[in-house]
Amino acid sequence: MNILKERIHDNAFSVVRNENWAKPIYETNGLNLWYGTSHALKNIELAINEKEVTAIIGPSGCGKSTFLKTLNRMVETAADVTISGNVTFKGNNILGKSMPVEILRSKVGMVFQKPNPFPKSIFENVAYGPKVHGIRNKAMLEMIVEESLKKAALWDEVKDRLHKSAYSLSGGQQQRLCIARCLAIDPEVILMDEPTSALDPVSTHKIEELIRSIKNDVTIAIVTHNMQQAARISDRTAFFLNGEIIEDNQTSTIFNNPADTLTDDYVNGRFG
């Protein structure tokens, strides 16, 4: 009887947990994308849940970056792109005219494979976004810069040289600076496209720790070729192949008990 009660309690708890925690911030329905006549994304159906880390995995050329860049409408900067279907951000279709791209990008930051700080000081890199959004008060900017650098686990390393060039930092520090620059605009989502692939293991570890520490505040979608990294840091994983999603599920299921043999073969390094 007690065991039964516990099971019922567990089930009730997991329903509440799912309802409370697994709320999609992005949803794509029937998303297709062509570069010219090349069909790069095929009927993508995927939810990215709020305050979770979603890993996007798959072999080179399968459409991971294209998908990520669709989420902040960066993909449209490429020539001859055609998109159909829906991509909703908090219920609004971002492919329609209902959400101006500037509004979307003020809520969705992006970090790339190669750190890309501005040719400015460390301070100015982080203060840039808040200034663009109209914050001029010096004390306020100083506070935002300090908080963002602390969240990005970089403050202690740079607090005495805030007005030095961002290019004086190491690659790993520059990548954390780029994450601090995103955090300074208080985004709801950060899209990360292979953010550690150019970094050494120590810097990679620091970025992974940083992702863990911010995920209670920010939703993260991360493209990675590193299976251990996807398994370590993500809650859910989507496996892409040739522009399609083969499978998406809880990360533990994708790695330990995938439904599709292609997923099993990929995550176990048998191709890709």
Ligand X SMILES: Nc1ncnc2c1ncn2[C@@H]1O[C@H](COP(=O)(O)OP(=O)(O)OP(=O)(O)O)[C@@H](O)[C@H]1O
Q: Which residues are near ligand X by CB under 6 A?
A: 35, 38, 40, 58, 60-66, 78
Closer to ligand X by CB, 162 or 245: give it.
245
Q: Pairing state of beta strands 92-93 and 236-241?
A: unpaired
Q: Of the two residues 63 and 115, which places its CB atom closer to ligand X in the complex?
A: 63
Shortest distance in whole angstroms from residue 62 CB to ligand X: 4
User: Closest approach of Cβ 22 to ligand X, in Å?
Assistant: 26
Residue placing its CB nearer to ligand X in the complex, 20 or 37 = 37
From the CB of 194, what's the least distance to ligand X, in Å?
A: 7
Tell me the residue length of the chain.
272
Amino acid at position 217, single letter: D
The nearer residue to ligand X, 44 or 214, going by C-beta atoms, is 44
Structure tokens at 8: 């019922």
Nearest to 195 by CA among 179, 183, 180: 179
Q: Spell out the long-range contacts of 26-29 with Cβ–Cβ below 8 A and sequence spacing 24 or more.
A: 26/71, 26/87, 26/88, 26/89, 26/189, 26/221, 27/86, 27/87, 27/88, 28/70, 28/85, 28/86, 28/87, 28/88, 29/85, 29/86, 29/88
- Pick between residue 27 and residue 193 the one whose CB is nearest to ligand X: 193
Helices 171-183, 122-132: crossing angle, 10 deg rounding: 20
Q: Which residue, 115 or 130, is less far from ligand X as judged by CB?
A: 115
For every residue of 232-267, DSSP letters joined together read HH-SEEEEEETTEEEEEEEHHHHHHS-SSHHHHHHH
Q: Cβ 68 to ligand X, closest distance in Å?
A: 8
CB of 256 to ligand X, least distance (A): 24
Q: How far is the CB of 60 from ligand X (least distance, A)?
A: 3
91 by DSSP, 3-state: which? coil
Q: CA-CA distance, 165 to 163, in Å (whole number)?
A: 7
**Residue placing its CB nearer to ligand X in the complex, 65 or 196:** 65
Residues 6 or more apart from 1 whose CB is under 8 A from it?
none
- Residue 61 beta carbon to ligand X: minimum distance, rounded to whole angstroms: 4
Beta strand 236-241 with 244-250: parallel, antiparallel or unpaired?
antiparallel
